[in-house]
């Protein structure tokens, strides 16, 4: 997933005392801000969001959820605000959200209300406190900015404690529910016309976003198939690009071309698979470090130990203590 962070947005963050470089370092993510974009895998994205949850204040969270301040940097928000009403805006946000974050937005409507739930694209992985409240506040901000009215949710539930500042922005208390994750609005509020409706802006931006969405789907399907074959081959010790190409029923040259089109490499994707396997096996305390190293394709424990520390920022034993 590629996130564009142009210099203007970096200056905006710095002006508001948000040190993005420091946050990336704490997340163990390479600082490539000079390229004005970040390419994050799902695991890196969620790790970054966890750091944001622990490092940012709720006032900073609120700032980063105000589309009138950050919408300038996000075409997805432009398209949402160009809609005719709130319901259409959130439907468009749900459609294009995956272009900027591995997040699913589910919308359920009834005669008198609209229920919105938000989750990650990774199964069994709960959104961080920052991620969930940020997504809920962004939705509310779009509705208010578009309609020009102070729309207040009927009900808000979250599996995290709220704060007075968050409740004041929502205009309603946030109910703590262990498995909660809903934002509910009156249907009539979602039908209020948008003052920001702009068909010409939407028709200008949306075709490119549809193209990116289709490219993302194609790339995701290819990468998923590649990961499955690598995972099957790793335990055997023979997971070269030639071997994986044959398993996929294609030539090495075609596989390399598809990887270039997806802006990645065979080595990078192999390490993604090895990392996932290592993290999975690390939760089985009956397995030794030597056994895990062997099962994820490392013949030398020292090489595996270096790779594991690079992936997680800690040693295997420290990782196990943290999650035991």
Each domain of the chain, given as residue ranges in start order, spans 2-197, 201-323
Go through 143-162 and write b for each residue having 16 or more CB atoms within 10 A of its CB, e for each that does not. bbbbbeeebebeebbbebeb
CATH topology of domain 201-323: Arc Repressor Mutant, subunit A (1.10.10)
Q: What is the pLDDT of residues 108-117, one digit of tens each?
A: 999 999 999 9
Q: Does 206 score more than 90 pLDDT?
A: no
- Strand-strand pairing, 113-120 and 182-186: antiparallel
The Cα 317–Cα 213 span in angstroms is 40
Q: What is the pLDDT of residues 157-188, one digit of tens each?
A: 999 999 999 999 999 999 999 888 999 999 99
Based on its alpha-carbon atoms, the radius of gyration of the chain, rounded to whole angstroms, reads 22
Tokens of 92: 């468009």
pTM check: above 0.75: no
* Number of continuous H segments (helices) and E segments (strands) in the chain: 17, 7
Q: Which helix (H) or strand (E) holds 263?
A: none
The neighbour count for residue 123, using CB atoms within 10 Å, is: 6
Phi, psi of 157 (to 5 degrees): -130, 140
């Amino acid at each position: 997933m590629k996130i564009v962070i142009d210099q203007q947005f970096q200056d905006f963050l710095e002006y508001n005392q948000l040190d993005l470089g420091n946050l990336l370092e704490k997340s163990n993510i390479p600082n490539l801000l000079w390229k004005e974009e970040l390419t994050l895998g799902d695991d890196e994205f969620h790790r970054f969001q966890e750091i944001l949850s622990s490092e940012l204040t709720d006032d900073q969270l609120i700032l980063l959820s105000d589309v009138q301040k950050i919408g300038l940097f996000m075409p997805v928000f432009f398209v949402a605000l160009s809609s005719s009403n709130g319901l259409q805006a959130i439907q468009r946000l749900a459609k294009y959200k995956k272009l900027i974050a591995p997040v699913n937005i589910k919308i359920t409507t009834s005669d008198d209300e609209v229920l919105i739930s938000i989750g990650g694209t990774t199964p069994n992985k709960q959104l961080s406190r920052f991620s969930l409240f940020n997504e809920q506040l962004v939705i509310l901000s779009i509705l208010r900015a578009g309609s020009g009215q102070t729309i207040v949710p009927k009900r808000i539930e979250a599996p995290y404690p709220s704060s007075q500042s968050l409740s004041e922005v929502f205009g309603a208390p946030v109910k703590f529910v262990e498995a909660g994750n809903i934002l509910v609005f009156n249907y009539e509020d979602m039908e209020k016309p948008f003052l920001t409706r702009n068909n010409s802006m939407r028709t200008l931006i949306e075709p490119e976003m549809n193209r990116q969405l289709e490219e993302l789907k194609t790339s995701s399907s290819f990468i998923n198939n590649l990961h499955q074959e690598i995972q099957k081959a790793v335990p055997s010790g023979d997971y070269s690009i030639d071997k994986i190409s044959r398993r996929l029923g294609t030539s090495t040259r075609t596989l390399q071309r598809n990887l270039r089109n997806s802006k990645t490499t065979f080595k990078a994707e192999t390490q993604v698979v090895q990392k996932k396997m290592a993290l999975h096996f690390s939760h089985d305390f009956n397995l030794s470090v030597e056994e895990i190293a062997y099962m994820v394709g490392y013949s030398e424990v020292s090489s595996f130990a270096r790779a594991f520390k690079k992936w997680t920022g800690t040693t295997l034993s420290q990782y196990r203590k943290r999650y035991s």
